Amino acid sequence: MFVNNDVRKSEEMLERHVTQPSEAGHPIILSTEDLHVYYGKKEALFEGDLQFASNQITALIGPSGSGKSTFLRSLNRMNDRIATVTGRIMYRGVDINQPAVDVYEMRRRVGMVFQRPNPFAKSIYDNIAFALRLRGVTGKHELDEIVETSLKQAALWEQVKDDLNKSALALSGGQAQRLCIARAIAVKPDILLLDEPASALDPVSTGQLEDTLLELKENYTIIIVTHNMQQAARISEYTAFFNQGRVLEYDTTSQIFTNPQVQVTSDYVSGNFG
């Protein structure tokens, strides 16, 4: 884990290597420009400038407290009431970090799944129908159909199709997390943000979750924060390495793991950090 920063030379810490996906010709769906996040007066994220390729999985890795979760939560403005976020977040050409933007409509397009599986104390069906009903989808037939397709996409349908009216709290951790994914994709977002979604799961559930994410990639752009470097290596096309609130390296995942350009990244991915 992350131990001591003071001993590192300051120029070493500022060494950066960022290759944006647009340089490789990928279409970009979301990008941040000059993004800073402050908790009170304390700056938690300095200049997070990243582009996210459409229909790809991008992993955000880095030690605890490196700002990766802060960055992720800023992307759909979940930090609005907690922190001050300055800079631009360009989503399909629109800056969504503007007061005029309706965050509720924006969050339908940029969904989020959290570290801890957080189903509501409602039935499985009602969990998925929750956001749809808020948006005025009330037709039984329509709801049934969306619930089924969402659960199928999240690879949960076969296990729960007979228990849709049972409480979601009875599901196992892995199932609950896939329910949360189904719930998030039920409103058909463009982008799915995942904040360490597998950290509370056992290895089998984690494997299943990763398979699900790889399938979801066809329809969604996925940005995932993970502590598990093998996971990043297994599923993502691009990886950003965060340290002390800065993006130190951003490149294709294979490049980051096999040929990191920055010494700190190299230390981190090889486990010699600190």
Partner 1 sequence: MKATQQLEQQLKRRSKAAKLEIWGRVVSFSALLLIVAVVVAIIGFVASKGIATFTSNHVNLWDFLTGKQWNPNITDANGKPEVGALPMIVGSFLITILSALVATPFAIGTAVFMNEISPNKGAKILQPVTELLVGIPSVVYGFIGLSVVVPVTRAIFGGSGFGILSGTCVLFVMILPTVTSMSADALKSVPRYYREASLALGATQWQTIYKVVLRAATPGLMTAVVFGMARAFGEALAVQMVIGNAALMPNSLVSPSSTLTSVLTTGIGNTVMGSLQNNALWSLALVLLLMSLVFNLIIRLIGRKGRLQ
Which residues contact partner 1 by CB under 8 A?
Answer: 76, 78, 104-108, 111-114, 116, 118-121, 130-131, 134-135, 167, 169, 180, 183-184, 187
Pick 9 or 81: Cβ nearer partner 1: 81
Pick 191 or 247: Cβ nearer partner 1: 191
- How far apart are the C-alpha atoms of 224 and 59, rounded to whole Å? 5
Pairing of strands 221-225, 51-53: unpaired
Pick 39 or 104: Cβ nearer partner 1: 104
The distance of closest approach from Cβ of residue 146 to partner 1 in the complex, given in angstroms and rounded to an integer, is: 13
Pick 60 or 264: Cβ nearer partner 1: 60
Q: Which residues, including other chains, have CB under 8 Å from residue 15's CB and lie 6 or more apart? A: 248, 262, 263, 264
3-state secondary structure of 243: strand
Q: How long, in residues, is the chain?
A: 274
- How far apart are the C-alpha atoms of 131 and 133, rounded to whole Å? 5
The distance of closest approach from Cβ of residue 108 to partner 1 in the complex, given in angstroms and rounded to an integer, is: 4
* Residue 198 tokens, joined: 């597998």
DSSP single-letter state for residue 138: -
Q: Which helix (H) or strand (E) is 205 found in, with range?
A: helix 203-216
The distance of closest approach from Cβ of residue 231 to partner 1 in the complex, given in angstroms and rounded to an integer, is: 21
Pick 62 or 119: Cβ nearer partner 1: 119
Pick 106 or 256: Cβ nearer partner 1: 106
Which of 216, 239, 92, 80 has its CA nearest to residue 156?
216
The distance of closest approach from Cβ of residue 234 to partner 1 in the complex, given in angstroms and rounded to an integer, is: 25
The distance of closest approach from Cβ of residue 121 to partner 1 in the complex, given in angstroms and rounded to an integer, is: 6
Cβ neighbours of 240 (radius 10 Å): 26
* Residue 169 tokens, joined: 């709290």
